[in-house]
Amino acid sequence: MRWFGWSALSALALSGCDLGVEDERVGGIDNIRLINAGDDPANWITHGGTYSEQRFSPLDQVNRDNVGELGLAWFADMDTARGQEATPLVMDGKLYVTSAWSKVFAFDAATGEPLWSYDPQVPGETGVKACCDVVNRGLAAWGENLFLGTLDGRLIALDRDTGEVAWEKVTVDQSQSYTVTGAPRVIDGKVLIGNGGAEFGVRGYIAAYDALDGEELWRFYTVPGEPDEKDPEYLKAAAETWNGDFWKLGGGGTVWDSMAYDPELDLLYIGVGNGSPWNRAYRSPGGGDNLYLSSIVAIRPETGEYVWHYQTTPGETWDYTATQHIVLADIEIDGRERQVLMQAPKNGFFYVLDRATGEFISAEPYIPLNWATGVDDDGRPIENPETRIDQTGEPALVMPGPLGGHNWHPMAYHPGENLVYIPAFEAAMLYVPQANWKPDPARGFNIGFDMGAGDLPPDLGFRQEVGATVKGRLLAWDPVNQEARWTVEHPGAWNGGLLATGGGLVFQGTQEASFNAYDASNGERLWSFDAQTGVVAPPIAYTVNGEQYVAVLAGWGGALALASDGGIIAKDGAVRNISRLLVFKLGSTAQLPPAPELAKAPLDPPPSRADAATIEVGRAAYARYCSVCHAPGAVGSTVLPDLRRSGALENRMAWQQIVHDGALSGNGMASFEGSLSPEQIEAIRAYVIKRANEDKAMEAELAKQRVARR
Ligand code: CA
């Protein structure tokens, strides 16, 4: 961490303390510890490893030469079977990790002995406010406490030794569809946390809370509200770029994941999300850039004062968030050492910015895309007019689709190789404007596009063809020349977060249930472990008593997992969720229990008797209210109940009791009363019955294909 040079030294001089790399004890976390986290690779004390969020561990005990001897040291099963996205923290030989439903677990980092656990008791019905599974991405540390953001919008301080609650603060209006899934960060005793909900009509912000008692110190809104003379200048400037009564729809711009901090410049960087609703024609009639959607914004952490912004996607309409992982590094460009900020946001361009000023340096596509032909010298994308579908007219097939060229999965930066490793993703979507869209702030996807209009027809060959176009790859990106130095093509699409190490390795999990180590210089796979489940969370490294460990949280889930077929066309076979923390060390030989079979009973739906008009009502309602959790087209994921196989499918009463009356709300299936009429709910049942019958026929055809292949 070259750029921490003087501040690290002066911080040490001021404190008169010696960090002592040999000493694995950290004690209370303070500014000195956090600013110098890169000099203390024994511990992992902040989300991205350091404030620069490079996710680079200098540890080299596990390296290119011996990684073949890496084995399972211990593992711990989680008590939920939902998406696992957390980065653990390690301090003083203890490992702290969060799991689905915002739960926290503490372990002895060397032996795996459970120390304590904490369940914030998030109400089950909060699940329907979450766009992308009931995930949590991790904790922050300050003093003797850990800080947890919960799905229902609370910020909770926990005693690191006992897991006892020190204080608790509600950070959102819980009557709206805000959720918190991101990891907090702490700067100088201020706990920073944003929120999500831009598919559900919220107004995004990030806020700072006093680490001692949870008092809110400042709040930074990313999009303008109803214009007010007292608004700060940056929001008045933003309001000029919006049209109509935009504030009535929330606007979006949620800060649900990325943050980074440069202590020398004293700038906090946040990534801002998509517009709410997505369709700009509804959100800001007549157009406009809609600041600060899809932007990187630099903020003064002491006051929450705006400093600069860079907007990646002006007039965002495709769910192109810039909430993706932000990495800070000092790199030489055109013979000059530049303090840069790097991001691969959803829109498919890799950006290099000057992080002191926000000046645009360069941007090139890191995956195939069609919404723009490039980025001009001023840093503004050159848009393809055929993909600007916000005028409620013609649909357009746009690349990337709403899952982006890169989603939340963290990148890693290796300073020795000067490479950024990107978990990249390739999938287009047909954007079909929804005619006469009206907001429903209570429930459902509020995006102004018809999420079901692009459903694939029940044609096995066609589905297999489309499935083959969805791709995932690990890219080793040269940020100076803006090109891939090497690429690993993965069989599955949704590949995991990354860790780079001083041992010349890059660690990554995959959709197809493996956890791998690659040579950081050329991408050669040097080691692989059968994780039995998709691994999407990013790994970390640490030491206890001088021995290096690598830890990763396994467990298939998140946005793509909920959207994908868990049966018929699932490329490379369906992956089931086994939520489990995996910890590795050289020479260890622990074994996982045998993997249970992923067995789905053959489809056996009642006959489809409803008329076409009813089924169309059901299709449209399903697309808006059900598809985000139960998969578009009701194709059935492996994470949440496959409605085609629901026992309630043939029972009108039972179906109403669940969907209308909320009989299963404790499990996360909230009541849709008020958003859906009993008639619409019955029409959804008719639609799912029709889909189940279509897929039953496809299953039979697929079985024939398999026999023929044998
Ligand atoms: Ca979004």
Instruction: Render pLDDT for 481-498 as a digit per residue (tens, 0 to 9).
Output: 999 999 999 988 889 999
CATH number for the domain spanning 698: value is: 1.10.760.10
Q: What is the pTM of this model?
A: 0.94
Q: Quick check: is 462 in a domain?
A: no
CA of 465 to the centre of ligand 1 (A): 27
Is residue 245 within 8 A of residue 272, CB to CB? The reply is no
CA of 156 to the centre of ligand 1 (A): 25
Of 405, 425, 444, the domain-final residue: 405
Q: Quick check: is 51 in a domain?
A: no
Q: How confident is the model at residue 417 (pLDDT cuts 50, 70, 90)?
A: very high
Q: How confident is the model at residue 391 (pLDDT cuts 50, 70, 90)?
A: low
CA of 320 to the centre of ligand 1 (A): 7
- Which of 262, 289, 319, 565 is catalytic? The answer is 319
Q: Quick check: is 280 in a domain?
A: yes
Highest-pLDDT range among 293-297, 458-462, 705-709: 293-297
Q: How confident is the model at residue 444 (pLDDT cuts 50, 70, 90)?
A: confident
Tell whether omega for the bond before 345 is within 30 degrees of 0, i.e. cis.
no
**pLDDT tens track for 329-375:** 999 999 999 999 999 999 999 999 999 999 999 999 999 999 999 99
Neighbours of 79 (CB within 10 A): 12
Place of tokens 């500014």: 31
Domain count, the chain: 2
Cα distances from 402 to residues 179, 299, 533, 547, in angstroms, run 19, 27, 24, 42
Q: How confident is the model at residue 86 (pLDDT cuts 50, 70, 90)?
A: very high
Domain that holds residue 373: 171-405
Q: Quick check: is 651 in a domain?
A: yes
**pLDDT tens track for 152-200:** 999 999 999 999 999 999 999 999 999 999 999 999 999 999 999 999 9
Where is average pLDDT lowest: 102-111, 295-304, 569-578?
569-578
CATH number for the domain spanning 222: value is: 2.140.10.10
**pLDDT tens track for 534-545:** 999 999 999 999
CA of 197 to the centre of ligand 1 (A): 8
**pLDDT tens track for 26-36:** 789 999 999 99
Q: What gap in Å lies between CA 629 and CA 671, rounded to an integer? A: 14
Q: Quick check: is 69 in a domain?
A: no
Which residues have a Cβ under 8 Å from the Cβ of 20 and sit 6 or more positions away? none
Position 295 pLDDT exceeds 60: yes
Of 405, 421, 444, the domain-final residue: 405
**pLDDT tens track for 623-644:** 999 998 999 899 888 889 999 9
Select from 344, 267, 348, 340 the least CA-distant residue to 302: 267
Q: Quick check: is 569 in a domain?
A: no
- Give the CA dihedral 441, 123, 539, 35, nearest 10 degrees: 80
Q: Per-residue pLDDT averaged across 130-148, rounded?
A: 96
* Burial (Cβ within 10 Å: 0-12, 13-18, ≥19) of residue 21: exposed
Select from 131, 132, 95 the least CA-distant residue to 116: 95
pLDDT, position 573: 58
pLDDT, position 376: 98
Tokens of 432: 């079909």
Q: What gap in Å lies between CA 193 and CA 215, rounded to an integer? A: 13
pLDDT, position 101: 97
Residue 354 is among the residues annotated as catalytic for this protein:
no
CA of 200 to the centre of ligand 1 (A): 9
CA of 313 to the centre of ligand 1 (A): 14
Q: What gap in Å lies between CA 403 and CA 427, rounded to an integer? A: 7
Is residue 584 within 8 A of residue 672, CB to CB? The reply is no
CA of 275 to the centre of ligand 1 (A): 8
pLDDT, position 601: 80
Position 15 pLDDT exceeds 60: no
Of 361, 376, 405, the domain-final residue: 405
Q: How confident is the model at residue 16 (pLDDT cuts 50, 70, 90)?
A: very low
| pLDDT above 70 as % of the chain | 95
pLDDT, position 156: 98
pLDDT, position 392: 67
Q: What are phi and psi of 650, to 5 degrees?
A: -95, 10
Select from 207, 212, 117 the least CA-distant residue to 166: 212
Position 21 pLDDT exceeds 70: no
Q: Quick check: is 293 in a domain?
A: yes
Q: Quick check: is 467 in a domain?
A: no
Place of tokens 């996982």: 592
pLDDT, position 217: 98
CA of 254 to the centre of ligand 1 (A): 8
Q: Strand (E) positions, 119-195?
A: 140-142, 145-149, 154-159, 165-170, 185-187, 190-193
